[in-house]
């Protein structure tokens, strides 16, 4: 069967393409710009790529056209598709019908931590011999890919609340019919498609309605938004987790190291073991608890889940060390929401102690561009000693608190590299936070730090 995928170079649709090839479909696809590394990965799978959204690509008459949610009315290929009798599906619907239909689906949802939690669950099941399939929004370092199809009955999916397609404005995750569902957190995001938090809560309750009564919902102990969602009706058992040791929750943790790199795991007040791993931050402690709880619902012993996570390598772009030159470390992180920025910096502060942190924040996401979080962004970076915001000049709003002498704003990544080169000292940690490529800034920073004559010893903060 011939599958043609529109928007194939996106992370999600690229994962769909890989799953389809591994299940035996002939796959072609198109995107507005087909570029490495995704284009290289797809071509290695034998997928022929077409650049652009012209109508000509439909002349091959594929058996099904899978439409990515970046496509909208007015594109020539969309108008031609609608004028024809060709079969089309959204990515989530195709995934549900062709991959998930006979699987025990384990879904990780929430405003933050979806990719990391889904990846942790995947690694636990892999290490414990379950050979799961998976589709997540990032490259799993333990696997080197973002998706895999297997004959295992278990499949882990990152459950995104973003809309499905131009013809289906429900959130993607309502298609997945999860049996084990993690609701990590819930805050306002995606201001380009949601008017307010209540609109997102509506979608999360649609998800809750799809969880069977023999499934489970795993959620944090404290979340007013999730409280409101579940108060509207819940038909499945609910388990709570917290990064503070407590008998009030099924799952809890007690940190043995302030940075979260070592902690005890408790199930109903009983210590089940100690996890020592490479990750840091309270958010990752919570992600781990959620992942262990999800794996336990599948049948994994808690002790085995803890042992598995000890060898877990985080997803690319989640506190990923991009390089170290002249005793300066440059990290890359996907954080692009005030809560994620704050928790990531808190974890890094606990890791480096009194060492200087220079945070570089890219205001790139659609929500950021609209200024939705402008009043909380500066406060979210409080743990950094110096903060550089990348704020394109077409944005018409100002940051609250920008008068802080430790905060600077520039509209050009290359200018940020220049300024950071003048600011940095040996022993500093530079954390770049963006959900985009950011003009290759990480390599530019490393090159700058390598070629700049830096002072010996720490400078003034």
> pLDDT tens digits, residue range 344-360?
888 788 877 888 999 88
List of residues 6+ apart from 442 with CB closer than 8 A: 322, 323, 330, 332, 432
What pLDDT does 440 receive? 81
Residue 392's SS3 state is coil
d(CA 218, CA 212): 13
What pLDDT does 403 receive? 58
Shared-domain flag, residues 297 and 216: yes
Digit-coded pLDDT (tens) for 100-156: 999 999 999 998 888 899 999 999 999 999 999 999 987 788 888 889 999 999 999
Q: What DSSP designation does 331 have?
A: E
Shared-domain flag, residues 8 and 150: no
What pLDDT does 457 receive? 47
Phi-psi region of 52 (alpha: psi -120 to 50; beta: other; left: phi over 0): left
Shared-domain flag, residues 245 and 393: no
Run of H or E residues at 44: helix 38-44
What pLDDT does 95 receive? 97
Q: How many domains does the chain have?
A: 3
What pLDDT does 401 receive? 61
Structural Rg of the chain based on CA atoms: 22
Q: Residue 262 is part of a domain; what is its CATH number?
A: 3.40.1190.10
- Tell me if 367 sits within 8 A of 189, measured CB to CB: yes
- Angle, helix 441-451 to helix 413-423, in steps of 10 degrees: 40
Shared-domain flag, residues 111 and 238: yes
Digit-coded pLDDT (tens) for 269-282: 999 999 999 888 88
d(CA 159, CA 88): 22
- Note whether residue 459 is domain-resident: no
Q: Residue 14 is part of a domain; what is its CATH number?
A: 3.40.50.720
From 89, 113, 132, the end of a domain falls on: 89
What pLDDT does 456 receive? 54
CA distances from 435 to 65, 137, 217, 450 (A): 28, 12, 28, 25
- Note whether residue 165 is domain-resident: yes
CA distances from 37 to 14, 44, 52, 54, 66 (A): 11, 11, 18, 23, 21
Q: Residue 443 is part of a domain; what is its CATH number?
A: 3.90.190.20
Among 47, 294, 10, which residue's Cα sits nearest to residue 155?
294
From 40, 57, 89, the end of a domain falls on: 89
Shared-domain flag, residues 135 and 185: yes
- Tell me if 253 sits within 8 A of 264, measured CB to CB: yes
Q: Which domain holds residue 78?
A: 2-89
Which tokens sit at 195? 């008017």
3-state secondary structure 191-239: CCCCCCHHHHHHHHHHHHHCCCCCCEEEEECCCHHHHHHHHCCCCCCEE
Q: Can you point out the beta strands (E) in 334-385?
A: 357-362
d(CA 298, CA 152): 13
Write the DSSP assignment of 259-309 as a string of letters. Answer: TSSEEEEEETTEEEEEEE-S--SHHHHHHHHHHHHHHHHHT--HHHHHHHH
d(CA 245, CA 268): 10
Segments of the chain with pLDDT less than 70:
35, 190-191, 315-317, 336, 365-374, 393-397, 399-404, 453-461
- Note whether residue 97 is domain-resident: no
Shared-domain flag, residues 62 and 160: no
- Note whether residue 22 is domain-resident: yes
Shared-domain flag, residues 74 and 106: no
Among 245, 236, 244, 199, which residue's Cα sits nearest to residue 218?
236
What pLDDT does 245 receive? 72
Rounded to two decimals, the pTM is 0.80
Digit-coded pLDDT (tens) for 412-434: 888 888 888 888 888 888 998 88
List of residues 6+ apart from 254 with CB closer than 8 A: 244, 245, 263, 264, 266
Run of H or E residues at 332: strand 328-333
CA distances from 87 to 63, 71, 83, 360, 458 (A): 7, 16, 11, 45, 63
Q: CA angle, corner 115, sides to 111 and 121, nearest 5?
A: 120
From 309, 343, 362, the end of a domain falls on: 309
Shared-domain flag, residues 277 and 324: no
- Note whether residue 461 is domain-resident: no
């Amino acid at each position: 069967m011939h599958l043609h995928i529109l928007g194939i170079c996106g992370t999600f649709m690229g994962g769909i393409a890989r799953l389809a090839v591994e299940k035996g479909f002939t796959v072609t696809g198109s995107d507005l710009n087909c570029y490495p590394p995704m284009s290289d990965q797809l071509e290695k799978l034998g997928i022929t790529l077409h650049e652009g959204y012209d109508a000509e690509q439909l002349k091959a008459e594929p058996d099904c056209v899978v439409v990515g949610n970046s496509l909208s009315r007015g594109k020539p290929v969309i108008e031609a598709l609608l004028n024809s009798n060709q079969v089309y599906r959204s990515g989530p619907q195709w995934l549900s019908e062709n991959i998930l239909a006979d699987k025990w689906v384990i879904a990780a949802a929430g405003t933050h931590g979806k990719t990391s939690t889904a990846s942790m669950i995947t690694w636990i099941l892999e290490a414990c011999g379950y050979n799961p399939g998976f589709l997540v929004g990032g490259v799993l370092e333990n696997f080197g890919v973002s998706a895999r199809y297997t004959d295992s009955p278990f499949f882990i999916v990152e459950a995104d609340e973003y809309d499905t397609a131009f013809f289906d404005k429900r959130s993607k995750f309502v298609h997945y019919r999860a049996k084990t569902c993690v609701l990590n957190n819930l805050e306002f995001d995606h201001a380009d498609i949601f008017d307010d938090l209540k609109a997102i809560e509506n979608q999360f309750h649609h998800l809750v309605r799809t969880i069977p009564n023999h499934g489970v919902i795993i959620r944090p102990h404290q979340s007013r938004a999730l409280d409101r969602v579940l108060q509207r009706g819940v038909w499945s058992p609910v388990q709570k987790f917290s990064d503070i040791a407590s008998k009030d929750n099924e799952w809890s943790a007690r940190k043995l190291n302030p940075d979260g790199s070592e902690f005890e795991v408790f199930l109903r007040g009983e210590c089940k073991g100690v996890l020592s791993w490479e990750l840091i931050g309270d958010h990752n402690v919570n992600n781990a608890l959620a992942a262990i709880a999800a794996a336990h619902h599948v049948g994994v012993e808690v002790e085995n889940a803890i042992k598995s996570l000890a060898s877990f390598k985080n997803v690319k772009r989640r506190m990923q060390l991009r390089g170290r030159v002249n005793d300066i470390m440059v990290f890359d992180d996907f954080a692009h929401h005030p809560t994620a920025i704050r928790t990531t910096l808190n974890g890094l502060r606990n890791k480096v102690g009194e060492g200087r942190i220079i945070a570089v924040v890219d205001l790139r996401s659609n929500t950021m561009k609209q200024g939705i979080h402008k009043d909380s962004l500066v406060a979210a970076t409080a743990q950094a000693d110096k903060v550089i915001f990348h704020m394109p000049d077409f944005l018409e709003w100002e940051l609250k608190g920008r008068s802080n002498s430790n905060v600077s704003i520039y509209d050009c990544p290359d200018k940020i590299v220049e300024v950071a080169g003048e600011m940095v000292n040996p022993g500093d940690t530079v954390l770049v936070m963006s959900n985009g490529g950011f003009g290759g800034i990480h390599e530019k920073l490393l090159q700058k730090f390598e070629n700049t004559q830096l002072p010996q010893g720490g400078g003034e903060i």
